[in-house]
C-alpha cells in the first residue's frame, strides 16, 4: 500500500539559506505521525511545501501514490489533504455551526445555495453537528466564535479541516497558546480523530506529541535528524541534546 504521504529529497532555499534540505519522509496510511524540532528548524516551511503554499526548490511530494509536487493548493485539498486554519475575522462573527456547515456545503459544491436557503439543508447541519460534537464543541455551537474560549477556537480550526473529509490531516500546533486548563480538551479531541484519517502533527507540546504519536520525526536545521517510535525518540540522547532537554519525559 502506498504511504499516505511521501516526500523525496524535498528542499526549499530562501536565497542561499536552506530552510528544508533533502527531506525524505514517509507517513503510513492511518498513522499518527509527529514532526518536531527546535524553533526555526523548518517545520512551517515543510507544511507550506506540502500544502502548495510554497513551491519546492528540490524534490517531490506524493499523496497516496500520486505526485502532487506541482498541484495547486485546491488540487491537494481535492485529493484529500487538509490543514488546520487560523480563525480569521470573517469566522469570528459566525457561530461554529454556521462556519462548519458552510465548509461542508463548500465541499459539496453547494456553498452559495446553502447560504441563500439560510441553512435549510438538514443533512449538512446534521453532519456539522456530529463533527462539532466530536470536537467537544457541541455545547457551544451556536455561540459567536469570537466569544469562545481560545482552546475551543483551536478545536474549531480542526473541525473546519475535518469538514473537507480529508484522508491526510496536517495539524499545525493545535495546542499553541492554549491555556493550561483547556489543554485536556485539545488532547482529548485530537485523540478522538477518526482512525482512518492519517494525521501529521507539528507541535511543541511534548505531552501532546508523546500521548498522540505512534511515530516521530525530528527536524533540525532543515534536515531530518532522527525518526522512530515515541520510546526511541524520547530516549535518544542526541535528540535530548538538540531538542528535548533534560526534563523531557513520556
Site for ligand ATP, rule CB under 6 A: 14, 17, 19, 37, 39-45
Please state, in angstroms and as integers, the Cα–Cα distance from residue 43 to each residue in 36, 40, 50, 95, 224, following that order.
Answer: 8, 8, 11, 31, 10
Give the nearer residue to ligand ATP in terms of CB position, either 11 or 96: 11
Under a CB-based contact definition with an 8 Å cutoff, are residues 107 and 165 in contact?
yes
Under a CB-based contact definition with an 8 Å cutoff, are residues 199 and 94 in contact?
no
Under a CB-based contact definition with an 8 Å cutoff, are residues 173 and 204 in contact?
yes
Strand partners, 67: 62
Interatomic CA distance for residues 111 and 115, integer angstroms = 7
Give the nearer residue to ligand ATP in terms of CB position, either 37 or 52: 37
- We find the least distance from the C-beta atom of residue 5 to ligand ATP, in angstroms, to be 18
Interatomic CA distance for residues 19 and 2, integer angstroms = 27
Give the nearer residue to ligand ATP in terms of CB position, either 41 or 104: 41
Interatomic CA distance for residues 221 and 241, integer angstroms = 14
Give the nearer residue to ligand ATP in terms of CB position, either 114 or 225: 225
- We find the least distance from the C-beta atom of residue 11 to ligand ATP, in angstroms, to be 12
Query: What does DSSP say about strands 17-27 and 5-14: parallel, antiparallel, or unpaired?
Result: antiparallel
Give the nearer residue to ligand ATP in terms of CB position, either 98 or 203: 203
- We find the least distance from the C-beta atom of residue 13 to ligand ATP, in angstroms, to be 9
- We find the least distance from the C-beta atom of residue 34 to ligand ATP, in angstroms, to be 13
Give the nearer residue to ligand ATP in terms of CB position, either 43 or 83: 43
Give the nearer residue to ligand ATP in terms of CB position, either 19 or 104: 19
Under a CB-based contact definition with an 8 Å cutoff, are residues 53 and 26 in contact?
no
Interatomic CA distance for residues 31 and 134, integer angstroms = 20
Measured at the CA of 17, the angle between CA 13 and CA 20, to 5 degrees, comes to 50
φ, ψ dihedrals at 104, nearest 5°: -65, -45
Under a CB-based contact definition with an 8 Å cutoff, are residues 59 and 9 in contact?
yes
- We find the least distance from the C-beta atom of residue 243 to ligand ATP, in angstroms, to be 11
Amino acid at each position: 500500500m502506498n504511504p499516505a504521504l511521501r516526500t523525496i529529497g524535498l528542499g526549499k532555499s530562501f536565497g542561499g539559506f536552506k530552510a528544508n534540505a533533502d527531506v525524505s519522509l514517509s507517513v503510513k496510511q492511518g498513522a499518527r505521525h509527529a514532526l518536531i524540532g527546535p524553533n526555526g528548524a523548518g517545520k512551517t516551511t515543510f507544511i507550506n511545501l506540502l500544502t502548495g503554499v510554497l513551491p519546492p526548490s528540490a524534490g517531490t511530494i506524493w499523496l497516496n501514490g500520486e505526485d502532487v509536487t506541482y498541484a495547486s493548493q485546491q488540487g491537494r485539498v481535492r485529493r484529500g489533504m487538509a490543514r488546520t486554519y487560523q480563525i480569521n475575522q470573517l469566522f469570528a462573527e459566525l457561530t461554529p455551526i454556521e462556519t462548519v456547515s458552510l465548509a461542508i456545503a463548500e465541499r459539496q459544491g453547494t456553498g452559495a445555495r446553502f447560504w441563500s436557503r439560510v441553512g435549510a439543508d438538514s443533512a449538512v447541519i446534521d453532519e456539522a453537528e456530529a463533527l462539532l460534537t466530536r470536537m467537544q464543541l457541541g455545547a457551544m455551537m451556536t455561540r459567536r466564535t469570537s466569544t469562545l474560549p481560545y482552546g475551543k477556537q483551536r478545536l474549531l480550526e480542526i473541525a473546519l479541516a475535518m469538514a473537507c473529509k480529508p484522508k491526510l490531516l496536517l495539524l499545525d500546533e493545535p495546542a499553541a497558546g492554549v491555556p493550561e486548563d483547556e489543554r485536556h480538551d485539545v488532547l482529548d479531541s485530537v485523540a478522538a480523530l477518526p482512525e482512518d484519517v492519517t494525521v501529521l502533527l507539528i507541535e511543541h507540546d511534548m505531552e501532546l506529541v508523546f500521548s498522540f504519536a505512534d511515530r516521530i520525526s525530528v527536524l533540525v536545521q532543515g534536515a531530518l535528524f532522527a525518526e522512530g517510535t515515541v520510546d526511541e525518540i524520547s530516549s535518544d540522547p542526541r535528540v535530548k541534546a538538540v531538542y528535548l532537554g533534560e526534563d523531557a519525559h513520556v
